[in-house]
Amino acid sequence: MTINLYSLSQDGLTDLLKSWGEPAFRAKQLWSWLYENPVASFDAMTNLSKPLRTRLQNETTLGVLEMVAEQSSHDGTLKRLYRLDDGQLIESVVMPYDDDRRTACISTQAGCAMGCVFCATGQMGFARHLTAAEIIEQAVRFARDLHGQGERLSNVVLMGMGEPFHNYDASVTAIRRLMSDLGIGARHITVSTVGLVPQIRRFAGEGLQVKLAISLHAATDAERTALLPINKRWPLADLMAACREYVEKSGRRITFEWAAIQGKNDSLEQAHTLGGLLKGMLCHVNIIPLNPTGGYGLGPSAAERIEQFIAILDSYGVSATVRVRRGIDIDAGCGQLKANVILRGSSANTPDSAL
């Protein structure tokens, strides 16, 4: 069976090459070709012997993602569509910023089971979890291409297709390996969750210094359940208690995401309710003007309304900023990623059966 080298940790690589009778330093050299100075072919691994390269070529693979499409936005955002080895399709995005930051937005599932009404991924349904290797490889692919251009992938957000905490183990393994293998600093990694309470509690105990973002979008249960069905399972009181526990345990600030939807969650009264909910908490609100998706009719709040909303939050001592929209012309913005996933009968879960 072919071994995907990106499924192995550094120790795993060492064990593999040891079983082939290679000295430990060879594993370090191979690791370097995978992550430090990533290359796309075994032939490029010039300090490995020809017989070793041939064996690697025959028995292993440099990842499993087959790129089937690539689109670039006028703002420099790049979106890629990959086919996995079972035919599932996923997307990932890289965004360049003026200050030299290069941020990859990667997927953790093919589809998503959470069914948030305004999200293109949620509108597709759930096909399957990605493996840690499939998650990491999306970042590696961008890192490799940036490296070739003399640039460096500096940040990674787990905000692509899927709910990272529904695929908890693979997502946390991927986060650890983004740090240890790809050298992305913990503070340059963000994981965003729709609000799975037990996993938020568990994550608080991981001792990771990465950023945690929570998709809030509404400040009362009735309004939040209408947008995010998972709120029925984990209502606001439970979610906020878990968030407070996370802040206490980790000492880290939480980011709350708020997709600003015109006429839905952008009234001044809702701003006051949100201010009251978050008052006194170590947190920040990230406002994302709603991006268009086929299955949802409403549009983004007006800029002026968002300013008023932010001013009201400020009066509660709650800081808020607007997330700059990126890649909207190529459907690469928040909540716009979709690919025709293959739904297999009962694996197309509803939120209740999925958890």
Under rule CB under 6 A, which residues in 180-239 are in contact with ligand SF4?
194, 215
Under rule CB under 6 A, which residues in 281-300 are in contact with ligand SAH?
288, 290-291, 293
Task: Report the Cα 80 to chain-centroid distance in Å.
Answer: 14
Measured from the CB of residue 25, what is the shortest distance to ligand SAH in angstroms?
40
Alpha helices in the chain (DSSP H): 10-19, 24-31, 50-59, 120-124, 132-148, 168-180, 197-204, 221-227, 236-250, 268-278, 303-315, 351-354
Binding of ligand SAH by 257 (CB under 6 A): yes
Nearer to ligand SF4, 6 or 165 (CB): 165
Binding of ligand SAH by 174 (CB under 6 A): no
Nearer to ligand SAH, 14 or 88 (CB): 88
Binding test (CB under 6 A) with ligand SF4, winner from 65, 114, 158, 260: 114
Binding of ligand SAH by 175 (CB under 6 A): no
Pairing of strands 3-4, 211-215: unpaired
Measured from the CB of residue 40, what is the shortest distance to ligand SF4 in angstroms?
29
Rg (CA), the chain: 21
Under rule CB under 6 A, which residues in 299-338 are in contact with ligand SF4?
335
Binding test (CB under 6 A) with ligand SF4, winner from 81, 119, 204, 213: 119
Nearer to ligand SAH, 63 or 335 (CB): 335
Measure the CA–CA gap between 266 and 6, rounded to whole angstroms. Answer: 44
Task: Report the Cα 126 to chain-centroid distance in Å.
Answer: 16
Binding of ligand SF4 by 13 (CB under 6 A): no
Query: Other CB atoms closer than 10 Å to residue 157's CB: what's the count?
Result: 20
3-class secondary-structure state, position 276: helix
Nearer to ligand SF4, 162 or 289 (CB): 162
Bridge-partner residues for 70, per DSSP?
Answer: 80
Bridge-partner residues for 96, per DSSP?
Answer: 102
Stretch of 41-49, 82-90, 114-122, 139-147 contacting ligand SF4, by CB under 6 A: 114-122
Nearer to ligand SAH, 62 or 127 (CB): 127
What does the H/E/C string look like for 223-269?
HHHHHCHHHHCCCHHHHHHHHHHHHHHHCCCEEEEEEEECCCCCCHH
3-class secondary-structure state, position 285: strand
Binding of ligand SAH by 312 (CB under 6 A): no
The closest alpha carbon to 330, from 144, 160, 108, 79, belongs to 79
Binding of ligand SAH by 119 (CB under 6 A): yes
Binding test (CB under 6 A) with ligand SF4, winner from 91, 163, 181, 331: 163
Binding of ligand SF4 by 172 (CB under 6 A): no
Measured from the CB of residue 148, what is the shortest distance to ligand SAH in angstroms?
28
Nearer to ligand SAH, 189 or 259 (CB): 259
The closest alpha carbon to 193, from 176, 181, 210, belongs to 210
10-19 helix and 24-31 helix, angle to the nearest 10 degrees: 130
Query: Hey, which residues are catalytic here?
Result: 91, 334
Binding of ligand SF4 by 116 (CB under 6 A): yes
Residues that bind ligand SF4 (CB under 6 A): 112, 114-116, 119, 121-122, 162-163, 194, 215, 335
Residues that bind ligand SAH (CB under 6 A): 116, 118-119, 159, 163, 192-194, 215, 257, 259, 288, 290-291, 293, 334-335
